[in-house]
Chains A and B, each alone.
Chain A
Amino acid sequence: MGDLSVIAGQLFNGISVASILLLAALGLALSFGVMNVINMAHGEMLMVGGYLSYMVCQVVHGPAAFVCALMVAFLGSALLGGLLELTVVRRLYGRPLDTLLATWGVGLILQQGARSLFGAIGVEVTAPRWLSGSFTVESGRLAGLSFPHVRLFIIALTVLVLGLVAVFIARTQWGLLLRAVHQNREIAEAHGVNTRRVDLVVFALGTGIAGLAGSALALISPVTPTVGQSYIVYAFLVVIVGGLGSLTGTALAALLVGIFSSAVQLFTSVSFADVLLLVMVVVFIQFRPKGIVVRRNRALEET
C-alpha cells in the first residue's frame, strides 16, 4: 500500500467516524437549538438503540432483519426520549445547567439498567450477509485500499437521515413550527404555536436518530452499557463547533471533528488526538464563539 492509499484510507475512516458522530450529534443539536437544552442521557439513547437492534436480530432472521432493527431502534429510542422529555426535561425549562445534571442522572440509571439486564460484557450484532465483505481498489495508485460495505452503509444511512431531516424541517408543517420556535419562542407562542408539543417532537426525533446511530454502531463494534459515553463527549464538541441547532453547521462540524481526529492519528497516538481535538475546539471558539453557523436575531442572548 502506498502513502496515498494510507492517507485516503484514513480520510475514509474519518468520514465514517464523522457519519456516526453526525447521527449522534444531530439530535443533540436540534434540541439544543430549539429548547436550549443539552441531554446528557443522549449517549444512552445510542446504547438503547444498540441493544434494541441486538434483540431484534435475535428474534428476526433473514435479509430484512437489520432493516427491522433500525426501525425498532428508532422508535424505541424516540419513545424513551419522549418519556424523558415529558417527565424530566419539560419541568426544567430555563435551567439548562440543571437539565444537564438531571439527564446525566437518567443516563446513569439507564447504564446500570443495561448492565443488570445484559451484563457488562458487550453483545454483538452480526452484520447481515449483504453488508459483509468490502469493496477493494485493485489497481492504480490507490491499490490495496478497501472500503468495508458496513462503513459505506453507515455513510449512506447518515446521508439519508440528514436528507430526511432537512426535508422535514424545510417542507413539512411540523418543520415550519420547529423553525418558528427555533427563531423566536415567545413570538411563536404568541401566534398560537404549541411550543411544548414542538419541543416534545423535536426531542423525540433527536433521541430516535440517536437510536439509529446506536444501531449503526452495533454493526462495527460490540454494544456495551458504556458505549454511549465513549461517543457522547465528541458529539458535544460537534454541537459546540456546529452552532445552535443548525443542520449545515452540525454536519460540517461532524466532518471537521471526524476528519481532524482521524488525520491527527496518522501522526500521533489516539490519546494525543483527544487532547489536540480539545485544543482545536478551544482555538476554534476564539474565532467563532457561536459556532460555524450563527443564528442571527435581535434578541439579546446570553450563552
Chain B
Amino acid sequence: MTAVRSIPGRRAASRPPAATPPVVPSRGWLADWAAAWSGFWFTPSDPLPLAVIRIATGLILTWSCAVWLLDADAFFGDRGWLRPDQVWRVNDQPWQWSGYFVASSPTMIRVVAGISLVAAILLTIGLATPLAAVVSFLGLVTAANRAPLNVFGLDDTLGMLLVPLVIGPSGARLSVDRLLAGPGRGRGGEPSIRATIALRLLQVHLCVVYLFSGAGKLFGASWWEGTALWGAIANDRYRTLDLRGLAGHPLVVNALTLVTLWWEVSYAALVWPRLTRRLCLALAVLVHLGIGLAMGMMEFGLAMIAANLAFVPASTLSSLLRPFTSRSTDSPDNPPGTPADLP
C-alpha cells in the first residue's frame, strides 16, 4: 500500500500567484537615502499637533515662570542660591548665556521674569505666536542657565518642546492669531513643511531622551533586579503618594520596574511602527502620570506627555477636538487621514 502525503508547497504552487506589492525600481543606495530623508523631513503636514503641543507647553511654561517669580531674587539675584561668578562651576561657560547676568538688580530681574511670563501666556493662547515662541524660549534658557542648581528634567523637556514651536507654524491652528486672521484671510492650517520639520525634530529628540535614559538605567543593578521602583517609592523626599504598601508585593514592584525599563529602552524603535505605537504612547502616559502623582513631579510628567503628542496623528487629534472646533474657524482644513498627517 502506498502512502500518499501532501508535499508542502506543491498545492500552493498550483494556486494563482498571490498579489505582490509593486516593485519600485531602485535608483541607487544614495539616491534612496536622499529620497527617504526628503520624505521624512519635507513632506508637508497638518500643523494641528504642533498647535496642541503649543497650548500644553504654554500652560506648563506659564506655571513654571510664575513659580520662578515667587522667589526671583533667590534664583536669579547676586545673593541668591548661586552667585553669578560661580555659575561656571555648574554650567559650560561662556556658552550657556543668560540675560540675568546683565539684568541682576531686583527690578530688572522682575522685568525679565515678567516678560518671560507674558510671553508664555501669549504662546498658550496663540497671540503673536512666532514672537511669543522666540521670547518664551529665550526666557526659559535665560532662567535655566542662571539657576543651574534649581533646574531639573522639566526644564530640559520644556527646552525640547520650545525649539520646535519656534521653528514650526505653531500658531496656525487653535490660536487667537488664527481667529484674528478671520475667514477671509485664508483658511489657515494648510499642510506645511515647517510643521513637519518641527514635529520630526521633536519626535527624534524624544527618542534620544528615552534611549539615553533607558541606556543609563542598564548600568544599574536595581533595574535588572526589578527593585528600582522601590527606590523611588521609599524615597520620602520625592513621595507625594504613599505606595509603601507595595513592600509586601515584590513581584508587583518587579513588574512595574521591568515594564518601565524595557518600555524606555525600546521606545525609540517601537514608537514608529503603527502596530506598536499606541502601546508605546499608552505606556508613556501611564509612566509619566505615575511619576507625576507618586513623586510630586506633575509638571515634568505633563511636559513629557505633551512631547509624546508629536506621535499622535493630526487626524486623531482632529477627531478628539471636533466637539470644540467644529463651529469655529479652526475646523480641519484637511480630511482626516490625508497624506498631510504625521507620521
Does B associate with A? no
